[in-house]
Amino acid sequence: MRKSVYSKSRTIALLASFLGAAVIGRPLIGQVQTGFAARLDVQNPLGLTAKLLVDEVPLSAALTTLAENSGVTLVYSPSRLPTYLVTCECYALPVGEALNRLLLDGQMQYSVHGQNVVVEPRQLPILLNGGPPARLASRAGGLRTLPSGPAGAPLGSQGNLPTAFSQGERVGTVTGMVTDSRTAQPLASAQVMIPELGIGSLTTQNGRYVLLNVPAGSHTIAVQRIGYRAATSGVTVADDASVNQDFTLEEEALALDEIIVTGTPGGTQRRAIGNAVGRVNAAEITQVAPVSSMQELIGAREPGLNFVRGSGNVGTGSTIRIRGLSSLSMSSQPLIFVDGIRVDNTADAGPDLRDAPQVSTLDDLSPNEIESIEVIKGPAAATLYGTEASAGVIQIITKRGESGAPQFDVGVTLGTNWLANVNHWVGTAYDRNNPETPGLRLYEKEKSEGREWLQYGPLQTYTGSMRGGSDAIRYFLSAEYQDNEGIVDYNWQKQVNLRGNVTVLPTDKLTLDVNMGYLEGLTSFMQQKNPFGLWDGLMWANAAGVDTRIRGFQRARPEMIAQIEATRDVSRFTGSTTLTHRPTDWLTSRFVVGIDRMDEFNSNLVPRFPEGADTEFGSLGLGDLQISSPVRQNLTADWGSSADFDVTPSIGLTTSVGFQFYERSEHITAAHGQIFPAPQIRTIGGATQKSADQTFVENKSVGAYLQQEVAWNERVFLTAALRGDDNSAFGAEFDAAIYPKFSATWVLSEEPFYSIGNIANSLRLRSAWGMAGRQPDTFAAVTLFRGAVGPAGAPAISTDVLGNADLGPEVSAELEVGFDAALFDDRASVEFTYYTQKVRDALLPRPVNPVSGFSGSQSVNAGQLSNWGWELATNVRVIDSNRFDWDLGSTLSMNDNRADDLGVLLPTNDLREGRPFPFFTERHVVEVGYTTADGGTGIWPHDIPDPEARVENVTYALCDGGAGFDGYSTGGAPVPCAEAPQLAVGNGRVTPRYEGSLNSTFTIGENLRLFAMAEWRGEHWATSLGLLCRYLCGSGRELNTFRPAKWAEALVAVDNVASNTIGYDTPNTAFATLREVSANYTLPTSLVNRFGAQRGSINIATRNPWIIWQANKFVYNVPVEPEGRDGAGYGAGGDPLAQNRLALPTLTSFVITTRVTF
């Protein structure tokens, strides 16, 4: 087997330099050299090696660097430090000597308190902030002065901390760490205070805090953070001593004060939003779950949000559905935003893999660079996004920097992918035409002869990130390299992700965010079907061909298939700039501009073989190459402004206005070359037959909105909004689309009369109604012509597509109502939403009258569809104790739809008014008469003849005539199959009506966390070409063996009389699977500190280890893969029946991840 080599030297060099800067710790501020130091002597912090080299930096910066490099905890107040610059070549000196040199002017002193070193002013009346800036002679000679800020404070300092300290008073210090009680992760930006003293501090990004100059005695410390329950603890402070007090905060069951960034400028508190907004805490999930892609990060974690997984082919992706299918002809892919700009949401990128699922560009993003994800479901929530938003919106927020010293996170993931229970999936093959041929277990046979075609594919991921900053500038930098192999060594994905996010606060009124992400990747795919895939070759094996050149495989030998190449080479840049201006405390304006550009090079190559056409590939063996180079680009410009007014002490108004511009373009150049003169030639230019094509598509959209929110006592919120959109795909005679919205929410539990707080301590009621749209195809409104060859070979113009000047968007209107409740003092939470949606002016193709000179169809607004359902999410703290916690979470959703009006469409077997869409139907055979070769007769299913009896002829076939009351239910009188109606297969559904997930987390002690998640989907049907061909493509004796009277032959004969009577290839694919299992162990602090680290963890996890249950594990002894889907899946404007052809089953993976924070 050949192994392709990833040789993108420019990317590897960029990654190496990026990681090198992070690991070596190149200076980012001033001339401070940073690094990592081991803690050598935990008993004597002053004796540790300083490892400090600084040159003319502020004293505060020097102390910060000293603490980081030496591992010593230095406690000091930046606002009380002198403002001079210092120089110290103290790399090999002890910490104590370094402090002596830094504090040589005598203004400050230091003392040891346990493992902490406290730096504080000497008990002398020294003027620090009131007089002129202090000066200190530098080592190089001369004097330098550090500029002063307000009140003489050093520029860039954290400002004056509140203090009750006075000269001569007996005081001490309180230090500690604030962590999440469930994840044990440190919490930044938590407010720690002693209210009665006015002393307070914010935790740093490593969760630590320091309270200085606390008067000796007993005090109560309070800790608060948005999204968490407040905590308090008593401490006793001794004179000139340091006391440690750690806190663990529990998450609020309902984070009503959480800021939702999706919507208005500056964000909105959750309590003020009347529609459901799902939130996925990506930063937390990636710490405990085996997540390597965006679909794994989001899937099954939010009710109503579903990823239609396709296959185990590494590099392929999934389509996304939010609240089911809501269009009869258009895509149900939601819009995707990253840091406020629209990005590509294609679900079928990459090379043409025929019947196999293709690439989802959402997976180009790295889960490790994501902070959180917000899911806006349906038109009621998506009004402010307008046209194209009726399928929902996914807003991705990447990680940001935080004030404090640089923090380095390094992670390494190693593991493997494999196909569990191969023999189960492959099964036994027979010879349909000769029942005497023995069964063939092809995989076992090849393996026994030394030909093992499947492997345990190695996977590895390396991540590094750095975050930190000051009050004026904050940064987050990350790099990731991923190398992932599938079950064959020519299926692999190598990808590099880089990200740099910087926040600049030049003033307290202005914030500038610059966010940049870059991807470079190369993927080699495993062909799964045409032309000649390994998996279909195994699934469709033919026992009759075991002694031929192809050794029983359906089309070609695996060693030949391995030489076919299908690759995707991609470079992608996503960048945005956000300027936020707060000129007053009541006005916020935000301007976002950004670009998402993706350059692909896709290739499908069948090389020329020495034998040429005399191979199993036929004429393709002479050489065949198809290439395409799509360039997809999205531009965003978004301005919005919000003004807050308090009309009275209890009534507040928030008025928001905004303007948005989006431009999406796609430029594709494609070429096809056939017949290479020699095996060494593998380019289009070297082919003897060539063809090329080029397409360019551009769409532009502009929109504006006005929104008014009224708040009463911060408990009742009423919101009304109006949006107008114009789009370049609208017809020339169509006016702008108008989308209104209304919502209301009431935090009932905060009312004085609320009386059930002992049961539901927090309760919010909400409702929203709104409209959004889905635009037509780019050229659907325009009449198109094409070039043609005229008389005598002269160039001419011919008709192509008939446009529609009145064409507009299809419009969705949705009403949703629901509630959020926290129960039993936040021990449990429930979120419930019911929604009903109407889609009018559905975009449908109307056949064109040939008299017009055009052919094909014309897009018109003519149909109507209904969509409704409900969503439920629960979380319960089952056990809450000091040493053991058990959290149980679940999601459950129901979705249904109905085609109300087909407009210009004629009914089909799969699409009829009054039925769900799409809908499986077929003729149901109930009785078959037959004769056998030995002169016998029989009637299926009543007679069971000799299994070896050969059916000679089918004399008649009867099918179910239908119950009649709804037009598609079974139970009617038998009628000749040629006259029978198409009836539902099962409940007829292609999409599951019910879906859900269950997750469980056990926290044992302070260090061990066990996590598991299961996912299930209810009844739905999928046509399987794999099942069909097992009977018709050479291995049909399985059906003969497990059905009386040569049932396969009987059905084939019936199918010759009346089509669509074969039902064995459409199984119910309901299933439940164990999706994730992990164990996360947080290493003891005493251990990681020995290596200069702050914290570390080891995570052991597996993904897709067990299919718990299937409605149909086998159909006539052929295994059913419940998750495999065809191409981009249903609802994408393609095949609505979601054929599960021969998709490679979902792979199982096992990984070990180590993470360390410095």
CA 921 to chain centre: 34
**Per-residue model confidence (pLDDT) at position 35:** 30
The structure's pTM equals: 0.81
Model confidence at 8: pLDDT above 60: no
Which of the 8 DSSP states describes residue 59? H
Identity of the amino acid at 142: G
For 1042, list phi and psi in degrees, rounded to 5: -105, 10
Nearest-angstrom CA–CA distance, 1003 and 806: 61
Confidence band for 1035, pLDDT divided at 50, 70 and 90: low
Mean pLDDT of 694-721: 94
**Cα separation, 470 vs 699, whole angstroms:** 42
Which parts of 436-575 fold into alpha helices (H)?
Answer: 442-448, 534-539, 558-561
Task: Provide mean pLDDT across the span 489-501.
Answer: 97
Most confident of 595-609, 930-944, 1015-1029, 1056-1070: 595-609
Q: Please state which of the ranges 150-154, 310-314, 568-572, 1151-1155 shows the lowest mean pLDDT.
A: 150-154
Q: Poorest-confidence range of 29-33, 44-48, 866-870, 959-963?
A: 29-33
Residue 948's pLDDT band (cuts 50, 70, 90)? low
175, 201 contact by CB (below 8 A): no
CATH 2.60.40.1120-classified regions of the chain: 161-251
| Angle in degrees, CA 420, 421, 424, rounded to 5 | 140
* DSSP secondary structure string for all residues of 1123-1137: S---TT-TTSSS-TT
Tell me the one-letter amino acid at 288: V
> For residue 848, which amino acid is it?
V
pLDDT of res. 136: 31
CATH topology for 161-251?
Immunoglobulin-like (2.60.40)
Cα 542 to Cα 87, 615, 729, 1048: the distances in Å are 80, 18, 51, 16
Q: What is the CATH number of domain 277-419+454-527+564-921+990-1024+1066-1157?
A: 2.40.170.20
Nearest CA to 472 out of 224, 258, 154, 192 is that of 154
Supply the mean pLDDT for the chain. Answer: 82
* Helix or strand (DSSP H, E) at 382: helix 378-382
| Confidence label for 1133 from pLDDT (cuts 50, 70 and 90) | very low
Q: Number of C-alpha atoms within 13 angstroms, CB side, residue 62?
A: 28
pLDDT digits (tens, 9 = 90+) for 182-211: 777 888 878 898 988 878 888 887 888 888
Which of 370-379, 450-459, 780-789, 1018-1027 tops mean pLDDT? 450-459
Answer yes or no: is pLDDT of 742 > 70.
yes
**What was the pLDDT predicted at 722?**
94
Q: How many residues does the chain have?
A: 1158
Least confident of 138-152, 366-380, 627-641, 1021-1035: 138-152
* Residue 137 confidence (pLDDT) above 50: no
- Residue pair 383/376 in contact by the 8 Å Cβ criterion: no
Q: In the predicted model, is pLDDT for residue 1043 greater than 50?
A: no
DSSP letters of 1095-1108?
A: EEEEEEEEEEEEEE
Residue 651 has pLDDT above 80, yes or no: yes
**What does the pLDDT average to over 1028-1054?**
49
Average pLDDT rounded to a whole number, residues 1147-1151: 97
Q: Higher-confidence residue: 1123 or 697?
A: 697
| Mean pLDDT across 126-134 | 30
Beta carbons of 304 and 334 less than 8 angstroms apart: no
Q: 1064 pLDDT band (50/70/90 cuts)?
A: low
Residue with tokens 């230090």: 175
Amino acid at position 386, single letter? G
pLDDT reading at 130 higher than 50: no
The answer, yes or no, to whether residue 538 has pLDDT greater than 60, is yes
- Compute how many other C-beta atoms are within 10 angstroms of the C-beta atom of residue 585: 8
What confidence score (pLDDT) does residue 253 get? 77
- Overall average pLDDT of the 687-710 stretch: 94
pLDDT at position 81 is 80
- CATH 3.55.50 domain position(s) in the chain: 31-156
pLDDT band at 680 (very low <50, low <70, confident <90, very high): very high
Ranges in the chain annotated CATH 2.40.170.20: 277-419+454-527+564-921+990-1024+1066-1157
Question: Helix 95-102 to helix 59-70 angle, to the nearest 10 degrees?
Answer: 180
Cα(628)–Cα(351) distance, integer angstroms: 8
Please state the rounded mean pLDDT for residues 419-448: 82
What is the rounded distance in angstroms from the CA atom of residue 624 to the CA atom of residue 691?
Answer: 12
pLDDT score for 11: 42
In this prediction, residues 846-861 reach a mean pLDDT of: 86
pLDDT for position 540:
79
Which one of 1.10.3470, 3.30.2250, 3.30.1490, 3.55.50 gives the CATH number of domain 31-156? 3.55.50
Tokens representing 197? 């003293």
**Predicted confidence (pLDDT) at residue 20 exceeds the cutoff of 50:** no
Q: For 161-172, write each residue's pLDDT tens digit.
A: 334 444 457 888
Q: How many CA atoms lie less than 13 Å away from 48 in the CB half-sphere?
A: 27
pLDDT tens-digit profile of 350-397?
Answer: 998 865 668 999 999 999 999 999 999 988 777 778 788 888 999 999
Residue 172 CA to residue 216 CA, distance in Å, equals: 6
pLDDT of residue 149: 34
How distant, in Å, are the alpha carbons of 256, 616, 646, 908, 1002 from that of 652? 18, 75, 4, 55, 44
Residue 1050 backbone phi and psi in degrees, to 5: -65, -45
What are the tens digits of pLDDT across the range 601-632?
999 999 999 999 999 899 999 999 999 999 99
